[in-house]
Amino acid sequence: GTLTVDGDVVALDATGFRDHSRGPRKFEARSGHTLLSGRFPSGLFVGMFEPRALDGTPKFSQGFTVRDGVPYDAQVLRVPTYQRDDVPEAWTVVLRDDQGQELVVEGRPIDSVPMSIQAPNDLIQGLSGIADEHHCLLSPSWLTCNGEDGTGHLELSRYNGG
């Protein structure tokens, strides 16, 4: 594709990131969320997004895979949740793809960027400790999916319950 800035056109040949940006985010109604995006040398891409209600049950849970450039829906079977204000431990996401195959994505975080999220949409670097906010960890990770090594991004949040 191309990117045009002030009339200058730049050719692009790169991968993209499918996230969950669809309108306003209302974090005050959630207990937290899990987001994953990952890619592998074979051309497989995986991802999922799951926000949870205040009681911890998923309000929405959707996964996807991309094979040969074609996106497919995937069922989310297992996700990690926010457990501590630090780099997450090793984690596992399990998806069932459109062909019925279980994809076991194991992650080993490289590091984490902590953030505080306050309603309506304020993002603050670092963890502020204010009760009525969400803590969020953005963690680039090494991935393994059914024996293939890749890279990705895990995002976890938790509502502190103000």
Count CB neighbours of 32 within 10 A.
21
CA angle 16, 21, 24 (to 5 degrees): 165
- Spatial separation of the C-alpha atoms in residues 103 and 80, rounded to whole Å: 15
Strands 113-118 and 91-96: unpaired
CA angle 123, 109, 76 (to 5 degrees): 80
| Predicted model pTM | 0.79
Average pLDDT of every residue of the chain: 84
**The most confident of 79-83, 129-133, 158-162, by mean pLDDT:** 79-83
Model pLDDT for residues 119-154, shown as the tens digit of each residue: 656 666 677 777 777 788 889 999 999 999 999 999
First and final CA of the chain: distance in angstroms?
45
Model pLDDT for residues 24-43, shown as the tens digit of each residue: 555 446 788 899 999 999 99
The average pLDDT across 152-161 equals: 86
The structure tokens listed for 37 are 């995006």
The average pLDDT across 4-22 equals: 71
CA angle 137, 140, 141 (to 5 degrees): 115
